[in-house]
Every structure is written in structure tokens, then in C-alpha cells.
Chain A
């Protein structure tokens, strides 16, 4: 297992009022993303626990791209990864941002 942690300054606050949301499953080639609205509006953080050791550069690129595209201000993402490919990671992160932007608790 490897733990990775990223923090990024962001342009704007993420949409919605929901406090948290979760998407995905920890399984081979899949991951879960728990997203929580717990940070100041101009920050975002991503904490990763992954079974695939040694892919920090790939994670860094995927997350840099995600933050640039979605501007997830105020959100903290906690990821349990079962060895997902970068496209699956991007998809789950996008789903998490969309879910927390919905109405609800």
C-alpha cells in the first residue's frame, strides 16, 4: 500500500450545499472517492491510499488535470484505490464533484 497526499489552490468554490458524497467501490481496477466540504473555498485536498505502489507521478498528473478542469474549491477527497486506471480515477473524481453539487444532505 502507498499513501499519497495532494493540496492545490483553486480558482473558485465547488457548487452545491451537500456536506459529503461517496462514489465507487474498492475492487480490482476500481476505487472509492469520499468527498467532503470541509476546507476553505480556495483550497482542495486529495488523500489517496492505493494498492499500486510507485505511481505518484501519474496520480499527480491526473489530479492536476482534474483540479484545473473542475475547480473543486472547499472539497477534500479521500480515495481508497484498488488499482484503478487513470481514466477510471478521472471519472470517479468527476462523479464525486457532481454528486456533492446535487441537493440533499
Chain B
């Protein structure tokens, strides 16, 4: 017999809920302490995009992003969650302004960390420059918040991945957690294929897309510090772990990050494929990495995978 819903603890519900398949609101509800979420500029305020109606496109009352505050283990956090199913989670003017405002509030307060649940294809092209400007504003706001001592953690496991300007913002965060279905990149598979040809990148080759941009590769390269299994509870634990691990931000740290990335490029720049990088990293039977179940992959990544803990 299936137990009635009320007998399931929030942690059990979070454990049995796929992060990838959940809506932005469900992700937040289960990521935070039960009942602690308070939304800023909620859907009832109808702060919708001023651009979409020009294109006769439907609006969403929250413009595809939910921002607010809540608690994680009793400690306050600011949160933002993109809804990847509304226009691919793309950044428009209002969508971006909500995240910028949240980050500025965090900077002003100084002690409350920010969790960003990315799920985005990048800029909403219908909003053109307003969307591009939003990305620039958010990147600045992330760096200013971090300079003021705020930890900014990115959680990536949504259907739209984290692409375009979302990938740039993720690169500015203090640390990232990623799951296998989460992908992190700037140009997406189809963009690369369109611009450089199918010989350069075959966007229909799912295995190629995932081993180049997917969570496992990003974890092994050190772009993401924690690999989460695809459920909300694992992301909750990942966020907790990252909040504990992230150190203070300074110019020296930024220089260390520059050095880390330069070294990575020197070492792997000539590799043709992710599998070559994994082999170079000393992973036996590197071609089997994509098939590894999450627990075995985490063990491998902890043994071999790089982290950005001294940099970022």
C-alpha cells in the first residue's frame, strides 16, 4: 500500500523527486526547510515581460524566475530558481532584473548566501539588448556580492542546462553543483554546429553533447565542485556542502583561478574529445565514465577529479 502523503517526511519527498523534472517552484519548496520559502515579487504582482506582447507571445506571471528567501538547516539563504520550460528559462529584462535585485540585496546584507538554480538556454533573443544587458548586470552583481563576502552557489540540473549568458554567470559563482543531466557551456550544441559545421560538432550526437557539456565532465574538469544525483535532496546536501567549503573571495583567489584555467588549457588544450581528457587524467577505461552510476562516479571524481577549491 502507498503511504498517504502526509506520512512522508520532506527529506523523503525531496529524495524521490527528480530535480531535472521538477518545476522551479517544486525545486525551491523541497530544497529549503519545509515551509520556509518567502517569495519576492511573486506572480500575483504580475511583473511580466514588457517585450513579449510585441511578438504576440504568451507571458508568464513570474517571467520565468522565482526569487525569494528561505532557510537551509535553519540558516537564512536567498534563492533564485529559473523555470526552464518557460521560453527555455531564458533571461529577459524582468527575469534578469529580479536576479540582479536579489544579488544586490545579498551584497548589502553581506552575510546571507545566495543559491541560484540555473535552468536556462541563455538570453531571450526577443528581448535582445535588454537580455544581454541583464547578463552583464548579473555578472557584475555576482562579483560585487562575492567581494562583499557573500557566497554565491550555482545548482545546475535542469532540462535546459546552463547555456549562453547562464554559463557566463555560472562561471562567476563561488562554486557549482551539477547533476548528470545538467549541462554547462556557453555556446550550445546547435549553435556550434550552425557556426562551425557538423564536422566540428554534431548536435544530434547525444553522447557527444553529454560527454562534452554534461555534469560528469564538468565535475572531472573542476568546473563544478560537487556532483549531485538527480534528486532534490542530493542538491540540498550539495548546497550545504558547498556553503561549508567556500572560502573568502579576494584578488589572490581570482589570480589563482586564472592560473588554474591557464594550466587546464595547457594540459588539455590539444585533446580532441572529453574521453582523451579523462584518459590523460589517469582514469582507467575512460570511455565507461558516461555509464557509471552516480555513487560510483562520485567515488571516482573524489579520487581523480579536480576542484576549484583553492581558486574560483
Contact = CB atoms under 8 A, between A and B. Distances in A.
B291 interface: no
A31 B59 CA distance: 10
Interface in B56-74: 56-62
A45 B130 CA distance: 35
A22 B43 CA distance: 8
A80 B43 CA distance: 12
A27 B86 contact: yes
Q: Is the interface of B mostly helix, strand, loop or mixed?
A: loop
Contact of B85 (A19, A27, A49): A27
Contacts of A43: none
A81 B58 contact: yes
B60 A26 contact: yes
B58 A25 contact: no
A80 B85 contact: no
Nearest to A25: B85
B44 interface: yes
A71 interface: no
Contacts of B60: 25-26, 32, 80
Contact of A36 (B44, B56, B62): B44
Nearest to A26: B60
Nearest to B88: A27
Interface in A25-47: 25-27, 30, 32, 34, 36
A49 B38 CA distance: 27
Nearest to A22: B43
A49 B46 CA distance: 13
B23 interface: yes
B92 to A, nearest CB: 13
A25 B43 contact: no
Contacts of A30: 85
28 contacts: A1-B57, A1-B58, A20-B43, A20-B44, A22-B25, A22-B43, A22-B44, A25-B83, A25-B85, A25-B86, A26-B59, A26-B60, A27-B86, A30-B85, A32-B61, A34-B43, A34-B44, A34-B61, A49-B59, A51-B57, A78-B61, A80-B58, A80-B59, A80-B60, A80-B61, A81-B58, A82-B58, A104-B35
Interface of B: 23, 25, 35, 38, 42-44, 53, 56-62, 83, 85-86
Given A1-B57, A22-B43, A49-B58, 6 more contacts: A1-B56, A20-B43, A32-B60, A51-B58, A80-B58, A80-B61
